[in-house]
Structure 1
Amino acid sequence: MTCLLAACATSPTGRRQLMLVSEQTAIQSSAQAYVQEVGKLKQEGKLSDDPAVVERVRRITGRLVSQALVMRPDAADWKWSVAVIDDPDTVNAWCMAGGRMAIYTGLIEKLQPTDDELAQVMGHEIAHALANHTAEKMSVAMASGLGVAAVGVASDNKGIAMTGAAAAAALAVTLPNSRAAETEADRIGIELAARAGYDPDAAVSLWQKMNRESGSGVPQFLSTHPNPQNRQQKLAALGPEMARYYVQPGDRPIYPVITESAVR
């Protein structure tokens, strides 16, 4: 029983999580995986060189991160960064442990999101990091045997094999989120966006666009983000509660997020 308890944690919404991997290990391994992936994308010329797109992503993400730090002040120590990946065919975005994010130009070009809708996407992804979902998915992969070959990450020892840990973090990005984790990220993400000054009603219109896009083939986003039929209804029900954050007066500060792109 002691071992089982030691492998459990509690999310920001009070949900019990399986944690065989510590958050710090997930952050370290995610950083390595992110740097390797961004470096590869730079060499291949697959980072966006559109200054308007890059600035838009930077501004929206910066406002969201400022509110994320209010929710989790310890996240100020994270190296918040976002890669704008030039891939017009991929409708996707993600956020690793420690605030390492990416968004694909295909999501912007195919969905044509408003700023409010784009904020819902990035707020949802940031919520995954705040709720420690990377470490949770790495833990589930270990427990199920999916990540055994890649992972020696249950320990926080300095001698940890970071190559295997980075592979496990990269694997976690591609694994589907649980329904519970998705509901949690929806709840945290819509609040982040509202506090940052983005209309919570956009969460519903975003998923309407996502569902229309899925009619021509399943977007990559839906391979890692389950799409239950009642998602729009649940988000719509949260709207009145979130409206009070949205209408609050005052400036919405922009955190200086590092933007990974081809723009100089």
Structure 2
Amino acid sequence: MPKEFTIPPVTFPTSNTPTPTTSTTTTTPQPPHLHHRQPPTAPFQPPRPSASSLPFMSFDIASTSANSSSSFFPPPSSTSSTSSSSALFAGEEPSLLEELEINPSLIWRKTLSLIHPFRLNPSLHSDPDLSGPFLYYFAFSLFQLLAGKVQFGVILGWLAISSIFLYSTLNFLAGKNGNLDLYRSFSVVGYCLLPIVIYSAASLFLPPTPTTAAFLIAAVFVVWATRVSSRLLAVDELGASEHRALIAYPCFLIYSLFSMLVMF
């Protein structure tokens, strides 16, 4: 059975009923849900100032950028101080050749002293280096390559073995008085390779078949290399000129092997 709901009747005021008038104006209270709500504020925040209380500040872009640049990068005190500091920095900075311990003028002077076998200056070779020997090694290998012989590894290996052989042999001969180190042995053997390098360059214009004239030319360059190497080693190693023949023998064997690389 459906349930019945009782609805009270709705009455509307008619115009006949008098409306009471009052002398004072009364405001009709609005329901609480129609009041304007203020936005929530974060806790512990100071009140925001109004737009009218903010002071007016002028902003100039040009002046601000100039001030900021001057504050972060102050102008130099004087032009002379800047130039002197740059000159000082340029003077203190070493060149790349000095960092690599390469002295081209010293290499050139040593080369000129080796070209004159009877005017050899041993004092120039008192400071050993490996830049000149490596230069002669590359030149020797390049001339051999032009002759159709790829011998880069062979020449480098023979240089290393020859230097070690000469170092050990002369130290055995000198005994306790020997002062030849391996670094100086590499330097002397490499620098005295210059006559063989010249011979390899000249062999490009000689007939490929070994003849008697070719053997004589090779003997001249071998004797040249033997003379300068024994002269340099006799001064520092044994300290007496009478031992040069004893020192010249292993040097002669070493540069004879290099000359055979050129001939054959």
Would the TM-score normalized by the shorter structure come out above 0.5?
Answer: no
- Bigger proportion of residues as strand: 1
Greater RCO (CA < 8 Å, at least 6 residues apart): 1
- Give the alignment's TM-score, normalised by structure 2: 0.28
- Give the alignment's TM-score, normalised by structure 1: 0.28
Larger Rg: 2
